[in-house]
Structure 1
Amino acid sequence: MTDPIVRRLIAAAGAPDAGALLMAEEPDAVVATALAEVAGRTILHPGPEMPVTVLFEVGVPAGGQVPYLLTVGPDGPRARAGRIDDPWVHVRYDLTALVRDVFGPTGPWTGSGRDVTMKDEPGPVEYKPDDPWMVQRDEATRAAHQVLAACGPYRGDLTALALRFGSDKWGGHWYTPHYERHLGDFRDQPVTVLEIGIGGYHEPDAGGASLRMWKHYFGRGLVYGLDVYDKSVLDEPRLTTVRGDQADPDFLDDLARRYGPFDIVIDDGSHVSSHVITAFHALFPHVRPGGMYVVEDLHTSYWPEWGGNGTDLADPATSVGFLKTLVDGLHHRDRIHEHTYHPSYADRHVTGLHLYHNLAFVEKGRNTEQANAVWRPRHDPMADLPAPHRVTEE
């Protein structure tokens, strides 16, 4: 469920003139959108064991304040418009500072634009661990830490997020370190991510673990999930599910035109080789230059039941065999008969491949590096040497 205002706030948060851009927005909608994001992030941080309501007062450019309440505790977060008197935790924010903290690039918090106060002691109190006021104050302190931590992006590693949400990208597989190696530079960017395959099969409210993981890893990102089953009950801010078939190239092209271009596409779908290849041809043109296309679970490339081939390992109709053709395409300018060869879209735009056990990363760009000099011989130079000078293996 990606409201257009989210896109605009992410863009404004990263712009030097954020305040001017926010002048065009309805303040109440900005505050509601930002604090809905904060509420969603609170689940990543430890909080109180009893409900605590935090009052936010957000100063807006035209003057005045927008009050908002965020209740945290064992029953989960709840954000709503409103005000309470004498709150345990009172957070005052400048509107621009709130948007920058929640949706902006990561940086050390400077203390600008935010003020936090706790309820004053009601006079002399007895400092005993079981004193009701002291217990409530300790819970409010935990709530303040949880809420303020959620005002910024989550900085833990991807494996921790996979464990938090139950994604099989760690444990069922061991993918998360490779993902961090290749996608870590995207983390602070306003990326658009598409993952094929949501999980949970036909159960409407099952699956989505990896989508939630990506949403919190890419704190400024928009995440889309594609599945053959309707998973719309999983939609939430910055996370949208789409129903469709990865084996249908026309559908995929329309999907990309509606929600793309994408910075990252991850194929964790059917794992049928023909589907993997169809999806790549349809979606790779919609990946931005500098982006990444990822294919998971390549073991099925060797299983005949999944359209694989365990004997002809170069079979281009299998997912691994197809990836091997991308290696040749990467070097198409060096081929002997390159002048008679018409390079494909992938040949011209794949700029790198990284393969791990059951996992492949394909880099998108412009494959324009010059070929080896045309005057250099394409045949074995040793063949022209007299026999005594030839180097042969024992």
Structure 2
Amino acid sequence: MPVHDRPQAQLIQRVLALADAPDAGVRLAAGNPEPVVAATIAEVAGRTVLYPGPGSPVTVQFEVDVPGSGQIPYLLTVGPDGRQARPGRVDDPWVCLRYDLSALVRDVFGPSDPRAGAGHEVVMKDEPGPAEYKPDDPWMVQRDEATRAAYQVLQACGPYRGDLTALALRFGSDKWGGHWYTPHYERHLDRYRDQPVTVLEIGIGGYHEADAGGSSLRMWKHYFHRSMVYGLDVYDKSLLDEPRLTTIRGDQADPAFLTDLAARYGPFDIVVDDGSHVSSHVITAFNALFPHVSPGGTYVVEDLHTSYWPEWGGNGADLADPATSVGFLKTLVDGLHHRDRLHDGPYEPSYTDRSVTGIHLYHNLAFIEKGRNAEQANAAWRPRHDPMRDLPAPHREYGEVRD
């Protein structure tokens, strides 16, 4: 399990926690503000892939005013061959973005805010002087490229505001197309979008190839713009690691490993099981990780069709088999209503009985909501047996029930 990422992750978590604080700039400037600026510009660089940019490389200069430390310059070069962020400055840049540290961190890592953009200044390179307008003039061509770069970088300074399906298509996630999950995800998870959430997805994709997969992780990272995203896979996927996205190697069928993972990286606000889809693995992962989901959080299980396939540990004959994924979910439905059920003698509710507050099922997809299942049961005086049982036959026939 990687540990080299922890200092950087802790820095970003601190920035996320302070992003909307009134004195964020002062508090983040305490100590060494340069890593804060570097992490923030790195986040902007990562978001530029979401927006159209220039057809040739353009370097945008950031000038970040830091309380008590003066100005920290940083460069972000964007273009068709990628992007590169690095400390420093250039003479006479085509685009200069001037920010104070509080406004920059608030725009990039804070919740959606009507003040976004109010704390920056955009300065474009001056025209060389009076001249006849020629669209093919090299200076004008470069000016147009710089304008596109300014748009791309400014958009990346704020949160992504499009829908989840567009992100799935952008990064190649099969949550849209291979399946049709993204509208359901958006319906249930949109409420977390502006929150500093922690997301764990089991199953990274790409199978054994170290640099393949990760499309859904990138989708989550940009949709939850204040999140820390973790991906679990049986293969080493550390080549996919990037700011706010960390991969972990391990087995979802190993409960001791999962408990250790949760202690290191949890608690989690969202867990998505898109792993092996073997019923026993799905159940093991849920039992190990659900206790580490935050109150108000959501646990998601994908690809429930394997619950009916024997070769995946499913059972197509006994549809209530609790050893299958769907059969197990049916036990959660009963647990949700444990206060209203008949029990032989005293009944001690299980952890999931007490903690599952909602279950939403779609084709091959389940959302389990975490909270305190403490709603009052049906009135104690109401009969728990069949109210028709003790009525004379004529009354049973017509369904007549009298209080």
Shorter-chain TM-score range:
over 0.9
What is the aligned partner in structure 1 of residue 230 from structure 2? 224
Percent same amino acid at aligned positions?
A: 79
**SS of 1:381 mapped into structure 2:** coil
- Among 338, 343, 364, the alignment partner of 2:370 is 364
| 2:339 maps to 1:327 | no
Structure 1 residue 111: Cα displacement: 4.2
Unaligned stretches of 5+ residues in structure 1: none
- Among 109, 117, 123, the alignment partner of 2:123 is 117
Asked whether the equivalents of residues 235 and 241 of structure 1 are also in contact (C-alpha less than 8 Å), the reply is: yes
Asked whether the equivalents of residues 279 and 323 of structure 2 are also in contact (C-alpha less than 8 Å), the reply is: yes
Structure 2 counterpart of 1:364, one-letter code = K
TM-score (norm 2): 0.95
Unaligned stretches of 5+ residues in structure 2: none
Per-residue Cα deviation, 1:230-288 (whole angstroms, up to 9, x for no partner): 00010000000000000000000000000000000000000000000000000000000
What is the aligned partner in structure 2 of residue 236 from structure 1? 242
**SS of 1:43 mapped into structure 2:** helix
Asked whether the equivalents of residues 208 and 234 of structure 1 are also in contact (C-alpha less than 8 Å), the reply is: yes
- Give runs of aligned pairs for residues 317-356 of structure 1, distance below 5 A: 317-337=323-343, 340-356=346-362
Which range moves more in the overlay, 141-150 or 25-34? 25-34
| 2:99 maps to 1:93 | yes
Asked whether the equivalents of residues 78 and 149 of structure 2 are also in contact (C-alpha less than 8 Å), the reply is: yes
Structure 2 counterpart of 1:292, one-letter code = T
| 2:158 maps to 1:152 | yes
Per-residue Cα deviation, 1:355-382 (whole angstroms, up to 9, x for no partner): 0000000000011111111111112223
Measured on the aligned residues, the alpha-carbon RMSD in Å equals 1.3
TM-score (norm 1): 0.97
**SS of 1:382 mapped into structure 2:** coil
Structure 1 residue 131: Cα displacement: 1.4
**SS of 1:266 mapped into structure 2:** strand
**SS of 2:82 mapped into structure 1:** coil
Structure 2 counterpart of 1:92, one-letter code = R
What is the aligned partner in structure 2 of residue 249 from structure 1? 255
- Give runs of aligned pairs for residues 1-394 of structure 1, distance below 5 A: 1=5, 3=8, 4-337=10-343, 340-392=346-398
Structure 1 residue 338: Cα displacement: 7.1
Q: In structure 2, how many angstroms separate the alpha carbons of the residues matched to 1:111 and 1:158?
A: 24
Asked whether the equivalents of residues 89 and 144 of structure 1 are also in contact (C-alpha less than 8 Å), the reply is: yes
Structure 1 residue 25: Cα displacement: 4.3
Asked whether the equivalents of residues 261 and 286 of structure 1 are also in contact (C-alpha less than 8 Å), the reply is: yes
Q: In structure 2, how many angstroms separate the alpha carbons of the residues matched to 1:304 and 1:381?
A: 40
Structure 2 counterpart of 1:250, one-letter code = A
Q: In structure 2, how many angstroms separate the alpha carbons of the residues matched to 1:392 and 1:315?
A: 35
Closer, same or farther in 2 for the Cα pair 1:110/1:126, shift >3 Å? same
**SS of 1:77 mapped into structure 2:** strand
Q: In structure 2, how many angstroms separate the alpha carbons of the residues matched to 1:45 and 1:190?
A: 23
Structure 1 residue 343: Cα displacement: 1.3
Asked whether the equivalents of residues 267 and 294 of structure 1 are also in contact (C-alpha less than 8 Å), the reply is: yes
